[in-house]
Amino acid sequence: MRSERGASAVMVGILMIPLLGFLAIAIDVGALYAEKAQLQNGADAAAIAIARNCAIDGLCNSPTTAVTQAQSFANANSNDGTSNVLTPTFHTSSSVPTTTSVRVEASTRETSGANALSHPFARMIGTDSTTVKAAATATWGGPQSGPVFPLALSYCEFLATGLLPTPGLVTIRYDENKTCKKTPSSADIPGGFGWLDQLANTCEVQVDLADASVGSNPGNNPPKYCDAVLAGLENQTILIPVFDASTNPGDTGTFHIYAFASFTVTGWKFGNGALLNNVDPSAPACIDKAKACAGNARFIQGKFERWVEVDPDFVLGGPTLNGFVVRLTK
């Protein structure tokens, strides 16, 4: 029989190109997908961060600052800490797209800062490198619906202090007689606060401004199922429903929810239990009147502050008071 010496070398030589192709698929393409995932995380985080700052203090007017911030988030989500960020373009007054691109340093590329990922195996079949990009768009605005603490504040309370440049502490009582109007010819809006019908066995209510009539509970009663929430509520900023009308106070009554406002809670008195009585002595009323925060008084204390909620459970589309929601839309 004739010798077959060298046959393996011939076969390897013939199969070298497909073998390199398989290596390119396994290693180079895998690296592309990994880089794409990192860039997408960076783009998402950057878009949300820029949108949040736009909602809070108008950083949309400073593209340079926006790029710096986007670069920081993009790099933080990249394993090698290097990504490029294109200058965000604000297509509307309430949305921002952010695009990130791979950047490879000179130690692994011939050109420092090249916008392409090198392919050690695919280059042998004609593909040296690939530019990888990821994009995300975040939108911000007033919330239309979402799950909230089952308590609503009067629009009168927001008008009194929420529009001030530096809102101060307030004590909002259940039995407050203060009223206001949206327009000179509209009906009076009652002041104070009221409890909303809760979802079964929870300390929250789902409010949708598209169907803004929400059932009420007597405001003099503490909420049920809220021990855990109350235990962590102090000095927390929450989105809270704001009503501009009410009917039949009590179990059969309703509140018409006009919008959501952000409110930092500093104290409350909803009853006489340990969790239901957490008075902030520095808030008005407790200082001005010796007995205003004692006895059977029921109130919530805090201040209206500009604030942004990043929560996928909230839907955009409502009036903007001082509370915003940021959502990834792309």
Q: For the chain, which residues make up each domain, given as ranges?
A: 7-131, 142-325
Q: Given CA atoms 27, 33, 36, 37 in this order, what sign does their dihedral have?
A: negative
Contacts of 168 (CB under 8 A, 6+ apart): 161, 284, 303
Q: Measuring CA to CA, which residue among 132, 302, 151, 311 is closest to residue 220?
A: 151
Q: Could you give the CA distance from residue 154 to residue 257 in angstroms, rounded to a whole number?
A: 9
Which residue positions in the chain have pLDDT lower than 70? Answer: 1-4, 6-7, 15, 17, 20-21, 23-25, 58-67, 78-93, 95-129, 177, 218-221, 249-251, 287-292
Q: Measuring CA to CA, which residue among 197, 191, 291 is closest to residue 246?
A: 191
How much is the pTM?
0.77
Evaluate whether 243 touches 205 at the Cβ level (below 8 Å): no
Q: Tokens representing 78?
A: 């990249």
CA angle 56, 58, 63 (to 5 degrees): 130
pLDDT at 126: 63
* Length of the chain (residues): 330
Q: Could you give the CA distance from residue 261 to residue 307 in angstroms, rounded to a whole number?
A: 9
Read out DSSP for 245-279? EEESSSTT-EEEEEEEEEEEEEEEESSSSTTTEE-
pLDDT at 262: 95
Q: Could you give the CA distance from residue 215 to residue 209 in angstroms, rounded to a whole number?
A: 13
Tell me which residue has tokens 């169907």.
Answer: 211
Evaluate whether 258 touches 242 at the Cβ level (below 8 Å): yes
Q: Is beta strand 323-328 parallel, antiparallel or unpaired with respect to 307-310?
A: parallel
* Max CA separation in the chain (angstroms): 114
Q: Measuring CA to CA, which residue among 104, 98, 111 is closest to residue 50?
A: 98
Q: Give SS3 for 319.
A: coil
Point out which residues pair with 172 in neighbouring strands: 300
